[in-house]
Structure 1
Amino acid sequence: MDLDLIIINATIVTATEILPPNLSIGINSGIIVAIALSLPAAPSTRIIDAEGAYVTPGGVDSHVHLHQDNAPTGDKWESGSRSALCGGNTTILAFASQQRKDASLFPVIEEYHNRARDQSYIDYGFHLIISNPTPEILGTADGENKGELKQMVEQEGITSVKLYMTYPAYRLGDREMLEVMLRCREVGMTVMIHAENADMIDLITTRLLSSTHTLPKYHALARPQIAETEATYRAISLSTLTSTPILIVHMSSPVALSHARKAQSKQMLPIHAETCPHYMFLKSERLAAQRHPFEGAGTEDGHKHEAEGKDEWAGARHICAPPLRHSDDDLQSVWDSITNGTVTVISSDHAPSRYAHPLGKQKPIHEFSSGKTKVPPSFANTPNGLPGIETRLPLLFSAATDTAAPPGRRLSLPKFVELTSSNPAKMYGFGDRKGSLAPGYDADIVIWYPPSHTSVAKKVKITNEMLHHSIDYTPFEGFEVTNWPRYVLLRGEVKWDRDIEMEGLERGEGYGKGILGKTGDGRFLKRGKGEILVGRVGVDPAGMKDGERERWL
């Protein structure tokens, strides 16, 4: 069999090891078919020389928001998937949101298929956001109505749902969550949970606003760590009662993470944890920024700025939920939870809105000044979320390769692959095809630069100008990383070539020349049942007799 493509001189990284250098990867019909010291090339075989650089699986960003109704200025599928590609991702999982009024999930899925179809540069799938879990959706215990969730698994290949414990539009009560979790356990769906105590947040927000504490910096005060901590403990309790594996998304609170750690290690419960780069690198002081990019401490309000160009709303760029936390110790707790294995996956939670736009982060100001509303501008009516789909992998790869990084804030390269590719692929039901470099897997591959290459020898400074999303800022403006994806292959085809990108810049042609792929290259992934990566199903809550649960299941 003649090979379509051979990557030579590769230093392959998997989730468990770094393989010996100078290996070759043989690819045929978009699939990896061989890894060896050398492979025979036919006249038609294309050759890519990795020049000794690290070669990793394509990134799997399993938590992104694209073309969502609540973010009209955010990335749609074309710009979002393009940005993901240029940052080394070959698969993304986004959200299809059920509204309270939606009695059926099938029109919801069809709508989101229509939004994504032929618009994605890379492969993609959907999680379902459930806000109205009717009996028709859940099904009945006697099996007469198998329910739409089971049909989603069997017909659509959608095998994950997300539940919210906060936000009026999506929030479910504990009873509703228990019903959904029980049904998801039965049909084999992964359950994701946004864990924050809604009543705590609502009470504090109301009191802050009544005291005219409305600026973006108060956003972090309105959503204290204890709101995440309590909800996390409650979500774990609901999971334990129903024996349902869960993933608690975008974790940031030290105590909440300790709850997840205890559940995993001492109780052997299937509690998975996700975090995001912004909870590893950014602090809440950015919410008080009065100019962009953020310049750090310096004046009494914690920021350097001149009167000219001062913008008291600048910190709104950093509003997300849970909010950025306050201290270096908070950041370190996230890093420690990555190191000790509590964190199972690192996603971007890419959920951006533009800043300088009447419907973006400045929406409260625009609507108030234009007379569209009499409600004063506040953090509470500012769109939530940060851009990060393109910067996730470079930031984390840098943490795995920068010898100058603090010892407590480093990753191993196998850990990098595990958290950004292998684990999310396994958790969401396509770990048999993606997330690893091995024969039989899709040839979704990232080739980085060798450290001595001139393009990265002096590090790469992140600027919003260099990114390929449709957002007018990045929270990581000015951050330096050790490397950037040089080539990104989707099923054996080079879709991103940063060398071409840099050559275009030298000719004054601007950014985007390195994008060799096109919309429509990405395929919708029908997924199977996700794997449990920590703990085990069937552990009884303390004090429950053997067989007690089975009497009411």
Structure 2
Amino acid sequence: MEFDLVVKNGLIVTASEILPPGLEIGIKDGKITCLGTSLPVSSSTKILDAEGAYITPGGIDSHVHLAQDNCPTGDGWESGTRSAIAGGTTTVIAFASQERHHSSLFPVLAAYHAKAAGQAYSDYSFHFILTNPTSHILTTELPRLATDEGITSVKLYMTYEPMQLSDRALLEIMLACRALGMTTMIHAENADMIALIIAGLEARGNLAPFFHAVARPRIAEDEASYRAISLAELVDAPMLLVHMSSETAMQHVRSAQDRLLPVHAETCPHYLYLISETLREQPHDHFHGAKHVCSPPLRHRVGDLEALWRGVANGTFTTWSSDHAPSKYDHPQGKKAGLKDGVMSFKTIPNGLPGIETRMALLFAATEACLPAAEARLGLPRFVQLTASNAARMYGLGGKKGSIAPGYDADLVIWYPKGRGETVVSNGMLHHDMDYTPFEGLKVGNWPRYTILRGQVVWDRDNGGVVGEKGYGEYMKRGKGEVIVGKVGQPVHGMLENERQFWMNP
């Protein structure tokens, strides 16, 4: 047996355990071929010494916005995926977005493929945002997307007028996705509540960035999350609620999971590290808060953050994504689109924050790898579930990505040994194409030392930083996603056990 690369002297972490010390990882042709001790090496075998550090699977960021037309100052594929590998993420799943006037998904897909081709440092795949779900698209094009293109997930919006879908449309898409084994992702906020509040804020002249957090209160997310869960329960469809920020909405998810409904949830670093105070004006810059405008917005109280941390630890959340959807701050088409002739309006500030590079380190910093056990927020296997293995399983990359085992792609993150790697986040150290980070000045206990993608070291922090090549990243066709929480076939409260058979196809 001969290996291209052997990684030794590390502590290997999987989604279930920390493996015994002394195990080595043998890699051949981009795949993990062996875990063992004293693996044979030849003159052509490269050796990477982890020096006692933890080794985790390459991160999968399953919620990323790159090169989108509605975000002209955002990251493209080159800068976004460069930033990903520098932060330990080896696979990103970004969004191809249908607009209302698009009658077919395939021209949209071709255009989005063209943007990514030859540009990616990391491996990648696409979700599809549906805004015009015609019968032709649901019955003819979605099956082709799944079988021919390996796109097995869609994202749906309950808010934003250009994207918002009716409950009936949500139901029809859920039914179509259920039949195909596709994953349905939902952005849940009550659009009418938000519109009412915005009208009142405008009438009173309350338009500074802080009022973005007032305009989209927790109750708007709570109601829409409960409604989305109810719609999914009616048609027995697995689903995931994206970028959750509210304790009550999270409790709706937990309640559904307790009833074994296939309801999954995602949250993001900014909802666990930042509160709405960051949206307020600063003495040196009254518009500074625009940097932190995102939807759902940052919540008001530290207690909101603490509740979400419990959901991270107890399994309520299935995935931890960046929702990397940035716009430059100091740019008239970026965040300062909300500033016209010195007048501020939160309504026209582009939504979204940068976070693709900081995602892994921010969660790793909360584990016992960086904190005393009594202070740690979660264990290392849970870290792996949230950052890699659950996303791989849920989005059809299981058996290929998201774990350290023979047969999997050799996607690895090697951290610094304990006591080394402490980092203070600053925008100057990051590799995105943004002029700020919302986590400026935050200290984290470690940072990826090496990132390995399909057997190649693409990030070596101490020796050149990004050492991978643009274009090395490959498009990943995905299979059907797995249901990770609950199971299909659960009865609806108040309905007969077989009541669906009278109106719904099996």
Q: TM-score range by the shorter chain?
A: over 0.9
Q: Partners in 1 of 2:16 and 2:123 — Cα distance?
A: 24
Q: Partners in 2 of 1:408 and 1:49 — Cα distance?
A: 29
Q: Partners in 1 of 2:118 and 2:370 — Cα distance?
A: 42
Structure 1 counterpart of 2:261: 269
The SS at the match of 2:164 is: coil
Give 1:328 shift: 1.0
8 Å contact from structure 1 (residues 335, 408) kept in 2: no
Among 353, 356, 360, the alignment partner of 2:327 is 353
Among 358, 362, 365, the alignment partner of 1:391 is 358
Give 1:364 shift: 2.5
Structure 1 counterpart of 2:162: 169
Structure 2 counterpart of 1:155: 148
8 Å contact from structure 1 (residues 332, 409) kept in 2: no
Q: What is the one-letter code of the residue matched to 1:462?
A: V
Asked if 1:533 corresponds to 2:496, the answer is: no
Q: Partners in 2 of 1:339 and 1:72 — Cα distance?
A: 36
Q: Partners in 1 of 2:501 and 2:69 — Cα distance?
A: 41
8 Å contact from structure 2 (residues 367, 376) kept in 1: no
Structure 2 counterpart of 1:143: none
Write out per-residue CA displacement over residues 192-221 of structure 1, whole angstroms, 9 at most, x where no aligned residue: 000000000011011101110000010110
Write out per-residue CA displacement over residues 155-197 of structure 1, whole angstroms, 9 at most, x where no aligned residue: 1000000000000111000000000000000111100000000
The 5 A counterparts of 1:126-525 are: 126-139=126-139, 147-265=140-258, 267-290=259-282, 305=283, 310-365=284-339, 367-368=340-341, 376-401=343-368, 404=371, 410-453=377-420, 456=421, 459-500=422-463, 513-525=464-476
Give 1:406 shift: 9.6
Q: What is the one-letter code of the residue matched to 2:366?
A: A
Task: Decide which moves more: 121-130 or 540-549.
Answer: 540-549
Q: What is the one-letter code of the residue matched to 2:196?
A: L
Q: Partners in 2 of 1:352 and 1:405 — Cα distance?
A: 34
Q: Partners in 2 of 1:443 and 1:233 — Cα distance?
A: 40
Q: Partners in 2 of 1:431 and 1:188 — Cα distance?
A: 14
Give 1:2 shift: 1.3
* Gaps in structure 2 of 5+ consecutive residues: none
Q: Partners in 2 of 1:408 and 1:10 — Cα distance?
A: 24
Q: What is the one-letter code of the residue matched to 1:271?
A: V
Write out per-residue CA displacement over residues 247-286 of structure 1, whole angstroms, 9 at most, x where no aligned residue: 0000111110000000001x11000010000011100000
Give 1:452 shift: 3.8
Q: What is the one-letter code of the residue matched to 1:464?
A: N
Q: What is the one-letter code of the residue matched to 1:435?
A: G
Aligned identity (percent) is: 57
Give 1:42 shift: 1.1
Q: What is the one-letter code of the residue matched to 2:58?
A: G
8 Å contact from structure 1 (residues 401, 482) kept in 2: no
Q: Partners in 2 of 1:469 and 1:401 — Cα distance?
A: 29
8 Å contact from structure 2 (residues 338, 347) kept in 1: no
Structure 2 counterpart of 1:8: 8
Q: What is the one-letter code of the residue matched to 1:391?
A: T
Q: Partners in 2 of 1:550 and 1:476 — Cα distance?
A: 51
Asked if 1:46 corresponds to 2:46, the answer is: yes
Structure 2 counterpart of 1:508: none
Give 1:315 shift: 0.4
Q: Partners in 2 of 1:103 and 1:405 — Cα distance?
A: 55
Write out per-residue CA displacement over residues 451-476 of structure 1, whole angstroms, 9 at most, x where no aligned residue: 144xx2xx210000000000000000
Give 1:408 shift: 6.7
Structure 2 counterpart of 1:544: 495
8 Å contact from structure 2 (residues 24, 35) kept in 1: yes
Q: Partners in 1 of 2:70 and 2:52 — Cα distance?
A: 45
**4+ residue stretches of structure 1 with deviation over 2 A?**
401-409
Q: Partners in 1 of 2:4 and 2:369 — Cα distance?
A: 35
Q: Partners in 2 of 1:204 and 1:45 — Cα distance?
A: 63
Structure 2 counterpart of 1:68: 68
- TM-score by length of structure 1 reads 0.90
How many residues are matched?
A: 504
Larger Rg: 1
Structure 2 counterpart of 1:18: 18
8 Å contact from structure 1 (residues 399, 405) kept in 2: no
Q: What is the one-letter code of the residue matched to 1:76?
A: G
Structure 1 counterpart of 2:33: 33
Write out per-residue CA displacement over residues 341-371 of structure 1, whole angstroms, 9 at most, x where no aligned residue: 1111100000000000010101122x446xx
Write out per-residue CA displacement over residues 38-88 of structure 1, whole angstroms, 9 at most, x where no aligned residue: 201011111011111100100000000000111100000000000001000
Structure 2 counterpart of 1:507: none
Give 1:407 shift: 5.0
The change in CA–CA distance for 1:44 and 1:404 in structure 2 (over 3 A counts) is closer
Q: What is the one-letter code of the residue matched to 2:415?
A: W
Q: Partners in 2 of 1:38 and 1:242 — Cα distance?
A: 53
Structure 2 counterpart of 1:114: 114
Task: Decide which moves more: 195-204 or 376-385.
Answer: 376-385
The SS at the match of 1:191 is: strand
Give 1:545 shift: 1.1
Q: What is the one-letter code of the residue matched to 1:220?
A: A
The SS at the match of 2:24 is: strand
Q: Partners in 1 of 2:466 and 2:229 — Cα distance?
A: 43
Q: What is the one-letter code of the residue matched to 1:420?
A: T
Structure 2 counterpart of 1:299: none
The SS at the match of 2:10 is: strand
8 Å contact from structure 1 (residues 5, 28) kept in 2: yes
Write out per-residue CA displacement over residues 91-128 of structure 1, whole angstroms, 9 at most, x where no aligned residue: 00000000000000000100100010111001000000
Q: Partners in 2 of 1:177 and 1:408 — Cα distance?
A: 42
8 Å contact from structure 2 (residues 218, 246) kept in 1: yes
Write out per-residue CA displacement over residues 446-500 of structure 1, whole angstroms, 9 at most, x where no aligned residue: 11111144xx2xx210000000000000000000111111111110010110011
- TM-score by length of structure 2 reads 0.98
Q: What is the one-letter code of the residue matched to 1:346?
A: W
